[in-house]
Amino acid sequence: MGFAVTVSLILYSIITSLLVLYNLNYLQNLNPSVVTKGSKTTLRLELHNNKPIIFPYIKLYYQTPENVILGSSKEWVIYVFPFTNHRIEEEFTCVLRGHFSLGIIKVEVKDLFGFFTFSTNLTKQYNHKPLSLIVHPRVLLLSNLPLPHLHLEGVLNKEFSSVEEPASIADLRLYRFADPLKKIHWKVSAKLQEIYVKNYETNTQPQIFVLMETCPFSGDVMTRFKVEDQIVECTTAITHYVLSKNLPLNLVIYRKNRLHLSGREPQDFERFYGFLASIPFDGTFTMSDVLEMEFAALSHSGSLLLVIHHMTGSIFNRLCIMKQSSIHPILFLVQPPDLDNVNSIIMLRELNEKGIPSFLVRTNERLDEVMEAIL
């Protein structure tokens, strides 16, 4: 009889544990699922027991964005009585931009008597649907950038303008949102009863080039994500400032091939923002390589803005050569707060002495605050 009871308990433990494991009824929700860096979102997990048996021990392994980056997980240990459910909510701040797959990844079950432990990896099951969290970079509003050419609409330089209309009008078009009022052609608008704005000739206007480094940063995984996030945030702030001034902008990024975006009006910013929000850092070209390949195109530019995380002597020499020509370079070096590269700091100081604005931006700083403190 004792043997029969023992065998019965073992069979009961195995059957109930497997029944719980492979018929687990859970819900997970993320609200909101699309946020901007610095915003908060809430992860909700619910476990339902619709069976007439107790769930004595269940351990759920789940991930938040930080766990995804570090390759770790959090644990939630519960027991659930028959025909009841349990819920857990965790609110967290999204501190890094990116696309993350969150939620439950693994389940561990123990029987009532502690004889057996079973587990399963939910990510390998065909019916498992992870939660998707998209974190966009925040847009910092810069009050100033040390650009050498402060253009009006279609002008080379402000100091050369001595007439009311700074450039010849190329054509007219209908008004679009965010067009400045000074571009409105009031006489034509009054005559046609629709708002028309002026398009100026810009073929002689110097271009502004922004080069962003996309090579992976050499460091631990969290530091690498923070550096990449800061580079994207700095580039986003720069593009927003330039386009808000109606200046012609060219963003060039090298991954396995060359990617190029151009624009010159505030409404063009959405294209740049969407592109930067999802750009991966898997480039195979260093910034020294990019400068060498882009040198011919940059010779026709007015300003060059570099956003990098690795400063080299080759970049220093190239910027000094550009300064002697018609190119006006500006450098933004992104570094972790605990990294003090003496050579990089010396090169930044010498670049500033040569009239090349160069800024050191730590990953725990904001570009707008850095610029306000310096400028």
Residue 33 predicted with pLDDT over 60:
yes
Output Rg (C-alpha) for the chain, integer angstroms: 29
Residue 351 predicted with pLDDT over 90:
yes
pLDDT attached to residue 153: 42
CATH topology (fold) of 207-374: Rossmann fold (3.40.50)
More confident residue, 65 or 375: 65
Q: What CATH number should be reported for the domain whose range is 2-136?
A: 2.60.40.10
Residue 292 predicted with pLDDT over 90:
no
As a residue count, the chain comes to 375
Residue 166 predicted with pLDDT over 70:
no
As a whole number, the mean pLDDT across the chain is 85
Residue 170 predicted with pLDDT over 60:
no
Residue 349 predicted with pLDDT over 50:
yes
**360 CB-near residues (< 8 Å, 6+ apart):** 333, 335, 344, 345, 348
Q: How confident is the model at residue 147 (pLDDT cuts 50, 70, 90)?
A: confident
Please tell me the distance from the alpha carbon of residue 345 to that of residue 359, in angstroms, as a whole number. 10
Q: Which has the minimum average pLDDT: 8-17, 200-209, 282-291, 333-342?
A: 200-209
Domain coordinates of the chain in residue numbers? Answer: 2-136, 168-200, 207-374
Percent of the chain with pLDDT over 90: 45
If you average pLDDT over each of 73-82, 122-131, 236-245, which comes out highest? 236-245
More confident residue, 166 or 110: 110
pLDDT attached to residue 250: 92
Residue 235 predicted with pLDDT over 50:
yes
Name the pairing type of β-strands 131-136 and 34-36: parallel
Average pLDDT over residues 342-357: 93
| Whole-prediction pTM | 0.79
Name the amino acid, one letter, at 290: V
pLDDT attached to residue 160: 36
Q: How confident is the model at residue 104 (pLDDT cuts 50, 70, 90)?
A: very high
Average pLDDT over residues 249-269: 90
Q: What is the 3-state secondary structure (H, E, C) of 34-94?
A: EEECCCEEEEEEEEEECCCCCEEEEEEEEECHHHHHHCCCEEEEEEECCCEEEEEEEEEEC
More confident residue, 349 or 149: 349
pLDDT attached to residue 296: 77
pLDDT attached to residue 168: 54
How is residue 179 annotated by DSSP? Answer: -
pLDDT attached to residue 164: 41
Instruction: Please state the φ and ψ torsions of residue 301, each to the nearest 5 degrees.
Output: -90, 165
pLDDT tens-digit map of 197-209: 876 654 445 689 9
Three-state secondary structure call for residue 26: strand
Q: How confident is the model at residue 21 (pLDDT cuts 50, 70, 90)?
A: confident
Classify burial at 271, counting beta carbons within 10 Å of its beta carbon; exposed 0-12, middle 13-18, buried 19 or more.
Answer: middle
pLDDT tens-digit map of 314-340: 999 999 988 888 789 999 999 999 888
Name the pairing type of β-strands 55-63 and 169-174: unpaired
Whose tokens are 């995380």? That residue is 309
Q: Point out which residues pair with 51 in neighbouring strands.
A: none
**91 CB-near residues (< 8 Å, 6+ apart):** 40, 41, 42, 43
pLDDT tens-digit map of 73-94: 999 988 888 888 889 899 999 9
Please tell me the distance from the alpha carbon of residue 74 to that of residue 62, in angstroms, as a whole number. 5
pLDDT attached to residue 19: 80
Q: How confident is the model at residue 251 (pLDDT cuts 50, 70, 90)?
A: very high
pLDDT tens-digit map of 302-316: 889 999 999 999 999
